[in-house]
Amino acid sequence: MTRQVAVTDQFFDDLDTEREILDAVDAEVVSLDVSEPEEVVERVPEVDALIVNKFPVTEPLLRELPNLSVVARYGSGYDNVDVDAATAHDVPVANVPGFCVDEAATHALTLALTCNRRVAQYDRAVRDGEWDWTANAARPRFQELTVGIVGFGGIGRRAAELFRSVGADLAVYSRSTAQDELDAFDAEKVSFEDLLARSDVISIHTALTEDTHHLFDAAAFEAMRDSAILCNTSRGDIVDQTALREALDDDEIALAGLDVLAAEPPDPEDPLLGHDDVVVTPHVAWYSETAIDDLQRGVAEAVASVFRGERPENVVNPAVYED
């Protein structure tokens, strides 16, 4: 019997890759383009698999889909999926953690260099008819800086390699990484407090959890160097944006490079967007054509694995496979 796979909120030109892979396991791919759980229940009540982007997968939804055997998310994060509820319903949740490691790490380095070299500020000034190299010249040589990395998964590790390649010293805050693992990166494991105090640049690469929500708040900014640069390519809600704006206004930190925001797209009136000391990109750190292909293949292969009775390569709730 043909299984049904519903893609709730795809953002690609087509689903040809997903259909090619899942056709091989006798599965039909349906594009829903929905935003509310009720719409899924109404349109595909017998669905066997969900592929989601930002669509919320909640306990009530899981309860209403008796045939559901897997949820696969386009991306590495999964904060829009109630993983505990999925585990309780014996539904594996799969992600694609490695699809944009190089892209996200490169973007983090790009934001840090853009801020340090004041590229955006110089660009705006030149477009406004100014030609004054001294206007934003009070920045140190990047090779003299200490870069603090928050989170040391795949992207954090690749970012460490890139920052080290341009000569920066490295400090890492990670609960799960031991110093001997960091030795290979010529990096030092530090507490969060030490990272704030020592870092000239802080690059965020940790997941959004209850513990990391607003990890960078008013107290964190107060503890940072007044010359510091904050770069976030992870999740917007890790940073308290109101506190960030106030810290920039009060010169508690110098600059911020943000690829992610709490609300996306942001309110056009958000004061961060017009702030002279902020560089914002539209959640694009993950992007390349190769990354898109890897992402689409990754979710489709995860679903196909479940349909073949196999465990997907990346499962965020492995308890569903434990006796």
Are 3-99+289-321 and 101-280 in the same CATH fold? yes
User: What per-residue confidence (pLDDT) applies to 136?
Assistant: 74
Token pair for residue 291? 């990354």
Q: Is residue 277 helix, strand or coil?
A: coil
User: What per-residue confidence (pLDDT) applies to 77?
Assistant: 85
Task: Give, in degrees to the nearest 5, the angle at Cα 303 between 299 and 306.
Answer: 145
- Given a cut of 80, whether residue 138 has pLDDT beyond it is no
- Is residue 53 within a helix (H) or strand (E), and if so which, with residue range? none
Average pLDDT in the chain:
96
User: What per-residue confidence (pLDDT) applies to 96?
Assistant: 95
DSSP 287: -
pLDDT in tens, 169-190: 999 999 999 999 999 999 999 9
pLDDT in tens, 111-136: 999 999 999 999 999 999 999 998 87
- Among residues 18, 45, 46, which one has the least CA distance to residue 31? 18
Domain boundaries, the chain: 3-99+289-321, 101-280
In the chain, the percentage of residues whose pLDDT exceeds 70 is 99
User: What per-residue confidence (pLDDT) applies to 182?
Assistant: 97
The Cα 86–Cα 70 span in angstroms is 9
- Identity of residue 228: A
What is the set of active-site residues?
235, 264, 283
User: What per-residue confidence (pLDDT) applies to 12?
Assistant: 86
pLDDT in tens, 28-81: 999 999 999 999 999 999 999 999 999 999 999 999 999 999 999 999 889 899
pTM: 0.89
Of 1.10.1040.10, 1.10.3720.10, 3.30.470.10, 3.40.50.720, the CATH number of 101-280 is: 3.40.50.720
pLDDT in tens, 215-256: 999 999 999 999 999 999 999 999 999 999 999 999 999 999
- Residue 1 pLDDT grade (very low, low, confident, very high; cuts 50, 70, 90): confident
- Given a cut of 80, whether residue 323 has pLDDT beyond it is no
Residues 6+ apart with CB under 8 A from 70: 48, 49, 50, 91, 92, 93, 94, 302, 303, 306, 312
User: What per-residue confidence (pLDDT) applies to 321?
Assistant: 94
Q: 3-99+289-321 domain in CATH 3.90.1150.10?
A: no
